Structure 1
Amino acid sequence: MSATDDQQRPESGADASAKGWRKYFNAPKEAAPVVQALPPPKQLAKLAQIFESSKRGWFWATDAELRLTYVSDHIAKRLGREPSEMLGTSIKDLFNDELAEGSAGNRTTGLLLNTRSKFSNMEVRADYDGPEIWWSVSGQPDLSKEGEFLGYWGSGIDVTTDRQSRDESSRLTHSDTLTGLASRHKISQRLDKALQAYKIAKRSCALLMIDLDRFKQINDTLGHQAGDELLKQASQRLTRVAKDGWDVGRLGGDEFQVIIPDMDDRGEVADAAKKIIAMISQPYTIDGTRCVIGASVGVAIAPYDGITSEELTRSADLALYAAKNDGRGRYRFYSTDLHADAEDLRQIEDELRDALERGEMWLAYQPVVSASTNEISGFEALMRWEHPERGAISPGIFIPIAEEANLIVPLGEWALRKACEDAASWPGSARVAVNVSPIQFEHSALPQLVTSALANSGLAPDRLELEITESVFLGEGSDIDQTFGALKKLGVRLALDDFGTGYSSLSYLKSAPFDKIKIDQSFVRDAAMPGNRNAAIITAIVSLAEALGMETTAEGIETLDTLELITKLRVSHIQGYVYSRPLHYEDIMETLSEGNLVIKPTGPEMNRSDRKTLYRKVGVIHEDHRYEVTMRNVSMTGALIEGLNDVPKGTQFVIDFGEGQLAVATVRRSMNDKQGLQFEVPLISDGSDGLCTRSRVSPYVLAAAGMPLAALPSGHYPLVMNEETAQQNGKGFSLPSFTQSEAGGTVLRVA
Structure 2
Amino acid sequence: MLASSYNPLLVVCSLLVAIFASYTALGMAGRITTARDSGARWWLFAGACAMGLGIWSMHFVGMLAFSLPIPLGYDPLITLLSLLIAIASSAFALWLVCRQTLPWTHLVGGALLMGPAIAGMHYTGMAAMRMSPGIQYDAWLFALSVAIAIMAAGAALWIAFQLRKDSSHVWRKRLGAAVVMGLAIVGMHYTGMSAAQFPLGSICGAAHHGVNTNWLAVVVIVVTLAVLAATLTVSAFDVRMESRTAVLVSSLAEANEELTYLALHDSQTKLPNRVLLHDRLEHEILIADRDKSRFALMFLDLDGFKAVNDVFGHRSGDMLLVEVAQRIRANVGNEDTVARIGGDEFVLLARIEEPTDAARIAETLMKAIGEPIFIAKHELHVTSSIGIVLYPGDGATQQELMTNADAAMYHAKASGQKGYAFFETSMNSDAHEQMQIARELRVASARGELTLHYQPKFDAPNGPVIGAEALLRWSHPTLGMILPGHFIPIAEKTGLIVPIGEWVLDEACRQMRAWHDAGHPQWTIAVNLSAVQFGHDGLIELVRGTLARHALAPRFLTLEITESTAMSDVEASLATLQQLKDMGVNISIDDFGTGYSSLLYLKRLPATELKIDKGFVRDLAIGTEDAAIVSAIVALGQTLNLKIVAEGVETAAQKAFLTRIGCDSLQGFMLGEPMPAKEFIEAVAQDPASTEAPK
TM-score by length of 2: 0.46
Structure with the greater alpha carbon radius of gyration: 2
Q: Which has the higher strand share?
A: 1
* Highest RCO, 1 vs 2 (Cα 8 Å, sep ≥ 6): 2
Q: Which has the higher helix share?
A: 2
